[in-house]
């Protein structure tokens, strides 16, 4: 999983679960939580486009990726960065 995917999972978990409450310590150590600005950027998109996928982080991330053209610009930029060649 790329760093961006970890970051997105962290954003979603933080937005929906209020931190580490729904993850095991091993999962929490593996997931980058993202910056507060990134969390803020994607939170409304999760509820608008992917509410049916809550609490499955993988499915939420896939949903956001599928809806990239409909996301707010700040959230879409996070996904666009994932698609840039490294």
Contacts with 4 (C-beta within 8 Å, 6 or more apart), sequence order: 78, 79, 81, 82
Residue that is written with structure tokens 């993202």 in the block? 34
Domains of the chain by residue range:
3-83
The CA distance from 64 to 77, in Å, is 12
The answer, yes or no, to whether residue 2 has pLDDT greater than 80, is no
Q: Are the C-beta atoms of 14 and 41 separated by less than 8 Å?
A: no
The per-residue pLDDT for range 24-73, each reduced to its tens digit, is 545 544 445 467 887 789 999 999 999 998 888 788 888 989 999 999 99
CA distance 2 to 7: 9
């Amino acid at each position: 999983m790329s760093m961006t995917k970890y970051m997105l999972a962290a954003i979603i978990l933080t937005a929906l679960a209020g931190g580490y409450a729904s993850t095991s310590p091993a999962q929490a150590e593996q997931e980058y939580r993202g910056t507060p600005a990134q969390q803020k950027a994607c939170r409304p998109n999760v509820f608008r486009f992917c509410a049916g996928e809550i609490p499955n982080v993988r499915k939420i991330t896939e949903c956001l990726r599928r809806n990239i053209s409909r996301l707010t610009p700040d959230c879409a930029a996070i996904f666009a960065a994932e698609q840039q060649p490294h």
